[in-house]
Structure 1
Amino acid sequence: MDISDTQLEVIMEEFKKLIVVAESATVGQLPFLAQSMGFMTEVIRDDQQLALLDTAGALVAISIQGMRLDKYTMPIVVKHALQFAPVFLYRADEQMVDQQVALISGIRGVISADKQLDQVLHALKILMQGELYYGREQLSILLDKMLKFKRQANDDSASAPCLLQLTRQEKRIIELVGEGARNKEIATHLNISAHTVKAHLSSIFRKTQSRNRVELLRWAQQFQAAVDTVI
């Protein structure tokens, strides 16, 4: 397994818009800071609204105050938002958020609730420039674990295909396949045609080197086992 086999998205991309999701928590100063930096900013109280917004060039900030994120728990709002745009977390409790898990899940950064205003401003600037916002210690630990896992892994491991080749839509389809959904059910759930689902599945099979749904699910299980080993 190499570093590109994780869900971590490291493509540098400057963002033009900030969408703040704060369902039941205090929004805080983040929208004001983004506006002061000249970014378009929108605050929503329901993450379901993301499906109705233009998220091109947007970075999503989720207030995770009082929420836990670790190896066993991922807030639904975070999981849902990751389907639509790059995400970072703010107002996080360091005791409740495992930054290693956040990093490997594709979350671009975590801003803890105890950060001073100037520190939040600095973090936001870094994130909007397309960079990840994690401490050097966190990045070093994760890289060391990945390198260690790579030395231990077999060359023919089923987790070898690069997960970054999969689009967000394809990752969601894999999840639905894992839940037992058929093509028509997937099409209805994602509001696309059955023909499009079939095309996505063909792409997924190619990227994961799977010949059918059974092999795809086996690949997904083995990949998750590899991720669990890393984190």
Structure 2
Amino acid sequence: MNQAETTSDHYTLLLISQPSMSVSALMTCLEKETHSAVELVPPHEIAAKLTTRSGLVLIDLNAFDDTATDQLKQTLAPFAEQHVFALLNAHDLSAKELASWPFIKGVFKKEDEVHHLCHGIEKMFSGEYWLPRHKMAALIHYYQQHHQQTIDEQAVVLTNREQQILHHLVTGASNQDIANALAVSEHTVKSHLYNVFKKINVKNRVQAVFWAKNNASLIGFTGQEGPVDNDEVNG
């Protein structure tokens, strides 16, 4: 993948929002907690800034009305492989609205504490997703209701390792969990997932889980999900 790969010790944070005292306060807190520079990107500078930068982009939905949000999605889509994107103040998004952001890797509510936000940022820079459990469940239900068709099994050929990784993905395992279970590196897991996503024509892990459940025979999935120990879907 061409998305920004870096460590939690040094990465670029871009905040798409309008200048305000509250935004300035948030930027100060993020810089203190992450030890990284946070750059404010006003809406009219998005294309220019994202072309010359690579990193994690936080999108403040409070700064956009419905019309501007639709335009924003179109503006950001070409940069999906160059950046990692997350939504701020997204607690009121429906599953349909969230599904319209296929390149989003994280969602944060207005009431989330800064330390929670920073932890999610670190996870996303490690290649994981950061979605509230109820958002993940709502997305899967949405895909079930609106995408009933499955891909012809003959059109998709997954290697044994790809089948194993997809099976673990369905059980709720993170990239690190999968790596530990298969005795491979996390980088190897990411590479396999990237190939799987291309083969089954999906854009994110939620869509991959839905596809796997509808094509269970390809990966030997029984339909039983693994236990959930926290409120976030990581990996």
TM-score (norm 2): 0.47
TM-score (norm 1): 0.48
